[in-house]
């Protein structure tokens, strides 16, 4: 899954939790569902630069779609 948006790397990493699940807060994905660093249930890029490389590694252009809320045309 690829997310886009304002401060998306920072926001996503907050939702994911720390790389070490023992350091992750309850309510984060890693805090709730991981038990050790080596068996991670989710990956999140640490920067926009890393994200761009990783997205091109795992996804083709035909697999990426720009999502837009139906309310966008009403608001903007």
Which residue in 23, 32, 37, 43 is the catalytic one? 43
CA distances to 15, 24, 73, 75 from 70, rounded to whole Å, are 25, 35, 7, 10
Residue 65 known to be catalytic: no
Task: Break the chain down into helix, strand, coil percent, rounded to 5.
Answer: 45, 0, 55
Quote the CA–CA distance of 8 and 32 in Å, as a whole number. Answer: 21
Q: Which residues are catalytic?
A: 43
């Amino acid at each position: 899954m690829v997310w886009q948006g304002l401060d998306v790397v920072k926001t996503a990493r907050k939702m994911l939790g720390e790389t070490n699940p023992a350091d992750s807060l309850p309510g984060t994905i890693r805090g709730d569902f991981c038990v050790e660093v080596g068996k991670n249930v989710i990956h999140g890029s640490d920067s926009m630069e890393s994200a761009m490389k990783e997205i091109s590694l795992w996804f083709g252009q035909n697999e990426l779609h720009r999502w837009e809320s139906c309310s966008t045309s009403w608001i903007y």
